[in-house]
Homo-oligomer: A and B are copies of this chain.
Amino acid sequence: MTLQSKTHTATAQAHPNIAFIKYWGNQDNRLRLPANPSLSMNLGDLRTVTTVTFSADLPGDALTVNEQPVVGPGLERVTTVLDLIRQQAGLELPARIESTNNFPAGAGIASSASAFAALSLAGAAAAGLDLDEASLSRLARRGSGSASRSVPGGFCQWLTGSDESSVAVSIAPPEYWDLRDVIVVVSQEHKAIGSTGGHHLAPTSSLQAARVAGVENRLKLCREALLARDLAALGPVIEEDAVIMHGVMMTSHPPLYYWNAATMTVIHATLQWRSEGIPVYFTIDAGPNVHLICEAADAPTVAARAGQLPGVQQIITSGPGGPVRLL
């Protein structure tokens, strides 16, 4: 077919997301079908821009992230997604993938969600495929589970189900609620065990079944609070859900201790500030950094206070973000 002999390129942008109800553990590790539904907010001020170029001139898939070549497992995950695209498009060309983030590498902000969302759209477009949102979310999921949630815009829920049905859908657009994620960076160390490995360990914790069993209720409370723009209802649920996930992590075999000293400092500070009347709540992903969720009006105060805490290296603030899109 003609595509084989030409160069095809496309560029897409996607945002990372912060989960209010966490994804931890899979029903199917290869397909990344999650053990439970999850809910997140795209982070509009943070971006990954990815260009995919299929070209017969390449010896094989070649990946750069922030202009640095990536090989090994990082490249293999990208190739897995591109293979699904090539298969669907009937394409056999290798690809050059150039991905850049506007947020600091190693700041503990997971770039895999935005990276695989952007890769899916850029790759599909470059291959001449016109995929709908559900198909893109499904494709992104195969590279990184949470990437499924970076495909639709705003506040997104990722459904459990089969390979066909486990996709994310937007439950409110980014302008629905002007929340802020004040990201308190307390460590820039590379994680000893990344999320993919962690998901595989989830079933080894004696608390994982209880976590999964409780998600339905927490997700319902979270969704209702979100739709009511009720931070006082949303906050306690996201804190509890995050702590339950870390309880599972710290009791898996082997245990995963993502929290460090500064993580606890920020947790206690958050409780203290709340007792002083500032409506701010924390959530924590698979790492030590703390995400402080508050209304836009309180974000400057929260960011200023967090920046004064011992062990805090950097503060990055983001509001809600839109869907993946072509540039």
Binding site for B on A (CB under 8 A): 206-207, 209-211, 213-214, 239-240, 243-244, 246-247, 250-251, 255, 257, 259-265, 267-268, 271, 310-311
Contact A206 B261, beta carbon cutoff 8 Å: no
Asked, given contacts A261-B311, A311-B261, whether A206 binds B247 with beta carbons under 8 Å apart, the answer is no
Shortest Cβ gap from A116 to chain B (Å): 30
Shortest Cβ gap from A185 to chain B (Å): 16
Chain B residues within an 8 Å CB radius of A310: 261
Shortest Cβ gap from A213 to chain B (Å): 8
User: How far is A324 from B113 in the complex, measured between Cα atoms in Å?
Assistant: 59
Contact B207 A209, beta carbon cutoff 8 Å: no
Cβ contact of A250, chosen from B209, B247, B260, cutoff 8 A: B247
Chain B residues within an 8 Å CB radius of A267: 257
Cβ contact of A268, chosen from B207, B257, B311, cutoff 8 A: B257
Cβ contact of A209, chosen from B210, B265, B268, cutoff 8 A: B210
User: How far is A282 from B213 in the complex, measured between Cα atoms in Å?
Assistant: 29
Asked, given contacts A210-B210, A261-B311, A311-B261, whether A255 binds B268 with beta carbons under 8 Å apart, the answer is no
User: For the complex formed by this chain, how many copies does it contain in all?
Assistant: 2
Cβ contact of A210, chosen from B206, B250, B260, B263, cutoff 8 A: B206
Chain B residues within an 8 Å CB radius of A214: 206
Chain B residues within an 8 Å CB radius of A243: 247, 250-251, 255
Chain B residues within an 8 Å CB radius of A268: 257, 260-261
Residue of B nearest to A217 (CB): B206
Shortest Cβ gap from A193 to chain B (Å): 13
Contact A260 B264, beta carbon cutoff 8 Å: yes
Contact B244 A271, beta carbon cutoff 8 Å: no
User: How far is A247 from B257 in the complex, measured between Cα atoms in Å?
Assistant: 13
Residue of B nearest to A244 (CB): B251
User: How far is A290 from B62 in the complex, measured between Cα atoms in Å?
Assistant: 49
Chain B residues within an 8 Å CB radius of A210: 206-207, 209-210
Contact B244 A240, beta carbon cutoff 8 Å: no
Residue of B nearest to A210 (CB): B210
Contact A240 B247, beta carbon cutoff 8 Å: no
What are 20 contact pairs spanning A and B, CB under 8 A? A206-B210, A206-B211, A206-B244, A207-B207, A207-B211, A207-B244, A240-B251, A243-B250, A243-B251, A257-B264, A257-B268, A260-B264, A260-B268, A261-B261, A261-B265, A261-B268, A261-B310, A261-B311, A263-B264, A264-B264
User: How far is A310 from B310 in the complex, measured between Cα atoms in Å?
Assistant: 12
Shortest Cβ gap from A81 to chain B (Å): 35
Shortest Cβ gap from A85 to chain B (Å): 40
